[in-house]
Chain A
């Protein structure tokens, strides 16, 4: 079934540890995004990539890094996790960015202790 796969589904992480959230899509979409969602707040964009080989910073990029080596994969890395990074993380993709609708993965629930 075509779509976006995120892994892991959930994770408890000790503060200071490094963690990579994985995201893979098989729809050949050019644009990919990482969002975090916290209770009472709208989705906040962390990083995005308009096409393979390029990335950009979103609204809340500090403490996170991404890479886009190919069209399908867009991993998000927390170099040294802090408790404020406790959140639900959604990866999304769209056909061409702009006004194309987003397709979301099922999310990763991350708790940093």
Chain B
């Protein structure tokens, strides 16, 4: 079957760095998305990885290892506004998104 595993909740301090891990098992693979979702709001696109390695985009970076079925989202210089849920979603062989339940990130001052 298809499965996504992410921590349910993480806590970090303002100004620090946090890494949110995601492991996945899918029928085929066509890349992996990360989305951010603030409480009560819609998800918004953060990143897409299809090749192995690290993609950096400002304070946010996303890493992919296809052989390990593993990705992480790295958030640097944390700000209070980064408090949100982070959704990992790989694309399977049919280009269907498989969504994880998300990781709720709590930032403390």
- Pair count A-B, CB < 8 A: 47
CA distance A107 to B100 in the complex (A): 19
Residues of A within 8 A of B50 (CB): 99
Tell me, rounded to whole Å, the shortest Cβ–Cβ distance linking A50 to chain B: 10
Total interface residues on B, CB under 8 Å, equals: 23
Total interface residues on A, CB under 8 Å, equals: 17
Residues of B within 8 A of A97 (CB): 95
Contact (Cβ within 8 A) A106 B41: yes
Q: Does B96 contact A (CB under 8 A)?
A: yes
CA distance A41 to B91 in the complex (A): 17
Q: In terms of DSSP, what is the predominant structure of the interface of chain A?
A: loop
Given A42-B4, A42-B100, A45-B97, verify A99-B48 contact (CB < 8 Å). yes
Residues of B within 8 A of A102 (CB): 33, 35, 43, 45, 97
Contact (Cβ within 8 A) A98 B30: yes
CA distance A97 to B89 in the complex (A): 14
Residues of A within 8 A of B97 (CB): 43, 45, 102
Contact (Cβ within 8 A) A41 B101: yes
In chain B between 11 and 44, which residues have their CB closer than 8 angstroms to a CB of chain A?
30-31, 33, 35, 41-44
